[in-house]
Amino acid sequence: MLDDFVEQPILRTDSLTKRVNTGNEQLTILQDINLEVNAGEAVAIIGASGSGKSTLLGLLAGLDLPTIGKVHLDNIDIFTLDEDSRAALRGRILGFVFQSFQLLPALTAIENVMLPLELTAASDVEAVARRLLDRVGLAKRLHHYPKQLSGGEQQRVAIARAFATDPKLLLADEPTGNLDSASGIQIIELMFELNREHGTTLVLVTHDEALSRRCSRQIRLADGKLVQ
């Protein structure tokens, strides 16, 4: 079944370049990035601190604008869309897992998971959220607020939230960066399991070589350039 997705590029970049002005000189953060990610793939973007990993992830998600270049997400040239349409597109096909979890402190675990579903006006919102939280092992923590949960538990909620809308592409930014190694391993296992179950494409940013080896492909960034 998974084979149906293989070899279909869900993500493609054309000459993606990002420069920023720092006073009187221009700094190139990303230069001429061309890459393709096919549906069902698990790709790790690796590189040292400051190599441009997070900037690339931001551009892939349409959270930031490039200086030059394009990003095609599910065959849509996302930078031809305005910010609101990009947001809507994100809501439809993207899921996120962040290093710092980024749960809304005002909402309980289940409410956090329900949020992206509510944004897309999905039906049966609560049942889906409940099922996912059950799946990540938090059936008993549904009504806890983020600050009442441990780091590992918070990241589980974040993973459940990321899969709530059944995204085509999951973007993860150093998902274990804020966790101790034991919790980190559990989180990675969980993420890959869910990725398989949902047939989601995964793009993961990390500087952890061991984690990157779990992916089917590694893309290395150095000084803003792709190093094959």
Partner 1 sequence: MNYFKISYRMLRRDWRAGELNVLVLALIIAISGLTTVAFFADRVESALARESNQLLGADLLVISNQPLPEHYADKASQLELVVSSVTKFPSMISNSDSSLLAEIKAVTEGYPLRGHVYLMSGSPEKLMEPSKAQSAGKIPQPGTIWVDEKVRMQLNLNSGDSVDVGAIQLVVTEFIEREPDHSVGFINMGPRVMINAADLAATDLIHQGSRISYNLLVAGDVKKVQQFRDWAKSQLTKIQRIEGIRDARPEIKAALERAEKFLNLAALASVVLAAAAIALAVRRFTQRHLDACAVMRSLGASQKYLLYLYLYYFVILGVIASGLGCMIGFVAQEILAHWLTGIVDTALPWPSWLPAFQGLLVGLVLLVGFALPPVLNLRSVPALRVLRRDIGLSNAHSITGYLLGLIALSLLFIWKAQDFKLGLFVVGGFIVAIAVFSCFGWLLIKILSSIRHQAGGAWRYGLASIRRRAASSVLQAVALGLGLMALLVLTLIQEDLINDWHASLPPKAPNHFLVNIQPNQLEPLEEFFQHHNIQSPVMHPMVRGRLIKINGKKVSPKDYADDLHAERHIRREFNLSWTNKITTDNEIVQGKWWDNDTTDAVISIEEGIAKTIRVKLGDELTYDIAGSHFSAKITSIRKVDWDSFRVNFFVVVPPGLLEDYPANYITSFYLAPTEISMIHELVRAFPNILVVDVAIVINQVQQMIRQVSQAIEFVFLFTILAGFAVLYAAIASTQDERIYEAAIFRALGAKKEQLSRAWAAEFAILGGLAGLFASAGATLLGYVISKHVLHFDYTFNPWIWLIGTIVGIIGVLVAGLLGTRSAISSPPLLTLRKIG
CB of 114 to partner 1, least distance (A): 9
* 157-195 as b/e: b if 16+ CB within 10 A: bbbbbbbbbebbbbbbbbbbebbeeebbebbbebbeebb
Query: What's the burial of 19, exposed, middle or buried (CB within 10 Å: 0-12/13-18/19+)?
Result: middle
What is the Cα–Cα distance from 118 to 91, expressed in whole angstroms?
A: 10
Question: In this complex, which beta carbon is closest to partner 1, that of residue 76 or of residue 107?
Answer: 107
Q: How far apart are CA 137 and CA 71, in angstroms?
A: 35
Question: By C-alpha distance, which of 170, 119, 18, 202 is closest to 158?
Answer: 170
Of the candidate residues 3, 21, 105, 123, the single one contacting partner 1 (CB under 8 A): 105
Residue 21 corresponds to which tokens in the numbers above?
A: 């002005």
For partner 1, the binding residues in 160-199 under the rule CB under 8 A are 161, 173
Q: How far is the CB of 145 from partner 1 (least distance, A)?
A: 7
Stretch that binds partner 1, among 9-17, 86-94, 131-139, 180-188 (CB under 8 A): 86-94
# residues contacting partner 1 (CB under 8 A): 34
The window from 17-25, 114-122, 131-139, 210-218 that contacts partner 1 (CB under 8 A) reads: 114-122
Q: Which of 76, 81, 87, 142 binds partner 1 (CB under 8 A)?
A: 87
* 144 near partner 1 (CB under 8 A): no
Query: What are phi and psi for residue 179, nearest 5 degrees?
Result: -120, 155
- Residues near partner 1 (CB under 8 A) are 54, 57-58, 61, 63-64, 83-84, 87-92, 94, 96, 98, 100, 102-107, 111, 115-116, 118-121, 145, 161, 173
